[in-house]
Structure 1
Amino acid sequence: MRKKFYTRNVGVLLTEDSYQRLVDITDNLEVTISAYIRDLLQKEIDQKEENLNA
């Protein structure tokens, strides 16, 4: 059985234009929308933590 890495679901509302742009980006990168958003959030969180520890 696969180990669950992600256990919390977060919903966010987007404009139709933002959603379509997100779909276009993730299609070009060949990644899922969820993976793309998780990566963006992790980079932002890491940057904020780095700034707090500086």
Structure 2
Amino acid sequence: MNIVKLLWERVDVLEQLLVCYRITKRPTEKLCTRLEKTKKDIENNTLEINNLMKG
């Protein structure tokens, strides 16, 4: 997946998490799962980009 799309997805998830805390609502399991998934996806994508740049 494109790194820009991954970053926008991560921003979306973080915004949803922020809303939960603002209204003192506990985040759903689905939101927590998306949070972890986007983090891992970005880390994996970043590693791939770094490996490609090294040659």
TM-score tier, shorter chain, comes to 0.3 to 0.5
Structure with a larger share of its residues in helix: 2
TM-score by length of 2: 0.44
TM-score by length of 1: 0.45
